């Protein structure tokens, strides 16, 4: 039975390499404010590119609420680096090659072309989940709803 992370869940700390190979922990990522952790199926695919670029395009708005988007998928560090560079994403992209963190969040699928469910988790500094966005097809809804949740939380 895979864990299911819902609003109000507390997230355990984890560590994964980012697109530069630097190990990042959730604690470090949360040091400056909330984190919007968005899981995507595959770097450089059309849908994931649209989703990540929308997060990128809203960077100033996320910064205004003190939050930071962080992408995560099962892609290798090298592929994340290529994805980030090609689209100048400017945010950490974590490589969850063994699927442990995807399992933790309940977004790991069995054998399939898309081993990761597209889902976004807004995590407060105390590691509590403020919002969960699950949509496989509407790419922009992830960043939009995350931002709305952060603004509501701030107010």
> Which amino acids are annotated catalytic?
48
What's the 3-state SS for the chain? CCCCCCCCCECCCCEEECCCCCEEEHHHHCCCCCEEEEECCCCCCHHHHHHHHHHHHCHHHHHHCCCEEEEEECCCHHHHHHHHHHHCCCCCEEECCCCHHHHHHCCECCCCCCCECCEEEEECCCCEEEEEEECCCCCHHHHHHHHHHHHHHHC
């Amino acid at each position: 039975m895979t864990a299911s992370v819902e609003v109000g869940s507390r997230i355990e700390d984890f560590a994964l390499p980012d697109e530069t190979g630097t190990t990042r922990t959730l604690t470090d990522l949360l040091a400056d404010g909330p984190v919007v952790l968005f899981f995507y199926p595959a770097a450089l695919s059309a849908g994931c590119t649209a989703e990540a670029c929308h997060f990128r395009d809203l960077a100033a708005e996320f910064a205004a609420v003190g939050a930071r988007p962080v992408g995560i998928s099962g892609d290798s560090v090298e592929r994340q680096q290529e994805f980030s560079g090609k689209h100048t994403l400017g945010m950490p992209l974590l490589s969850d090659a063994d699927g442990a963190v995807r399992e933790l969040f309940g977004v790991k699928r069995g054998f399939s072309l898309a081993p990761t469910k597209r889902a976004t988790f807004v995590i407060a500094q105390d590691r509590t989940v403020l919002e969960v966005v699950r949509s496989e097809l509407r790419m922009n809804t992830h960043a939009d709803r995350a931002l709305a949740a952060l603004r509501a939380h701030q107010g």
